[in-house]
Amino acid sequence: MADTKHFVIITGGECKADGIPDGIADNAYIIAADSGYDTAKRIGITPDLLVGDMDSIRDVPSGIETLRVKAEKDDTDTMLAISIAKEKGARSITVIGGAGGRADHWLSNIFMLEALADEGTDARLMDGVNEIFVLTDGCVKIPNRGGYFGLLALEDSVVTAKGCKYPLKGHTLRRTLPYAVSNEVTESFAEISVKGKIIVTVSAR
């Protein structure tokens, strides 16, 4: 049975299907946002609900609960899916896809992660190459899987980073000076601690 506290929202946009971890949607309630249904098919995931204006989906399926809305609306299809997840009591949300393509949608999805974090919802976005989430007044461990990670301040934030190529020790990161990028994990994991609020990006090579 799906866990109605954890939601997976699958969107359109660029997504490297073979980079999505196996089991990512196990025991989750799954919402496909419009052409996210096509992404879901490529990943091999069957949604519990399909929402959107259906302006970019190739073939609207039968047999799946569907909520069709007008194209002229205030929310993007992804925002609509997130609103539904919140109404259903979501405690954590993973957004799959939503990257690349149109810059306005891509940036909208990132800003949405910040809004969810401010509300206390654990949220992250992954597209098979990148994983992106917001870290506020806390710490996180990033496993060594190759690739890179970046730390981008949403407000003036004091950051310490250990176990990485470019360590930080109580450095203040600012939104207007985004230099803490292209870092690499050199130990079994990197440990990041922050007082403030930052975006963490973890990217494959």
Tell me which of 72, 95, 128 is where a domain ends. Answer: 128
Q: Say if residue 145 is in the same domain as residue 80.
A: no
**pLDDT single digits (tens) 142-155:** 999 999 999 999 99
Q: What is the DSSP letter of 21?
A: P
Q: Are 117 and 157 contained in the same domain? A: no
User: Based on the number of CB atoms within 10 Å of its own CB, is 138 exposed (0-12), middle (13-18) or buried (19 or more)?
Assistant: exposed
pLDDT value of position 204: 86
Q: Mean pLDDT, to the nearest integer, of 19-38?
A: 91
User: Three-state secondary structure along the chain?
Assistant: CCEEEEEEEECCCECCHHHCCCCCCCCEEEEEECCHHHHHHHHCCCCCEEEECCCCCCCCCCCCEEEECCCCCCCCHHHHHHHHHHHCCCCEEEEECCECCCHHHHHHHHHHHHHHHHCCCEEEEECCCEEEEEEEEEEEEEECCCCEEEEEECCCEEEEEECECCCEEEEEEECCECCCCCECECCCEEEEEEEEEEEEEEECC
Q: What is the pLDDT of residue 12?
A: 84
pTM, two decimals, is 0.89
Maximum Cα–Cα distance for the chain, whole Å?
Answer: 55
Cα separation, 34 vs 140, in Å, equals 33
Which of 105, 128, 151 represents a domain boundary (last residue)?
A: 128
Does position 205 have pLDDT exceeding 80, yes or no? no
For residues 147 and 124, state if they share a domain: no
Shared domain for 32 and 115, answered yes or no, is yes
Predicted confidence at residue 13, as pLDDT, reads: 79
Same domain, 138 and 118: no
| The predicted structure's pLDDT at residue 115 | 94
Query: How is residue 194 written in tokens?
Result: 């922050």
**The pLDDT of residue 171:** 97
For residue 146, the domain's CATH number is: 2.60.120.320
pLDDT at 74: 62
> 175 is written with which tokens?
């939104």
Three-state secondary structure call for residue 105: helix
Q: Which amino acid is at 45?
A: I
Inform me whether the pLDDT recorded for 1 exceeds 60. Answer: no
Looking at the structure, tell me whether residues 84 and 121 fall in a common domain: yes
Instruction: Say if residue 146 is in the same domain as residue 92.
Output: no
Per the structure block, which two tokens stand in for 157?
């934030």
98 and 142 share one domain: no
Same domain, 42 and 107: yes
Domain hosting 181: range is: 134-203
Taking 70 as the threshold, does the pLDDT of residue 3 lie above it? no
Q: State whether 9 and 104 are in the same domain.
A: yes
Residue 176 has pLDDT above 70, yes or no: yes
Q: What is the pLDDT of residue 186?
A: 98
Rounded to the nearest integer, the mean pLDDT of the chain is 90
Give yes or no for residue 70 having a pLDDT over 90: no
Q: In CATH, what number is assigned to the domain containing residue 91?
A: 3.40.50.10240
Where does a domain end: 110, 128, 146? 128
Asked whether residue 4 carries a pLDDT value surpassing 70, the answer given is: no
Judge if 23 and 117 occupy the same domain: yes
**The total number of structural domains that make up the chain:** 2
Tell me the per-residue pLDDT of 91-145, one tens digit each, with 9 for 90 and over: 999 999 877 667 887 888 889 999 999 999 999 999 999 999 999 999 999 999 9
Task: Note whether 170 and 109 are same-domain residues.
Answer: no
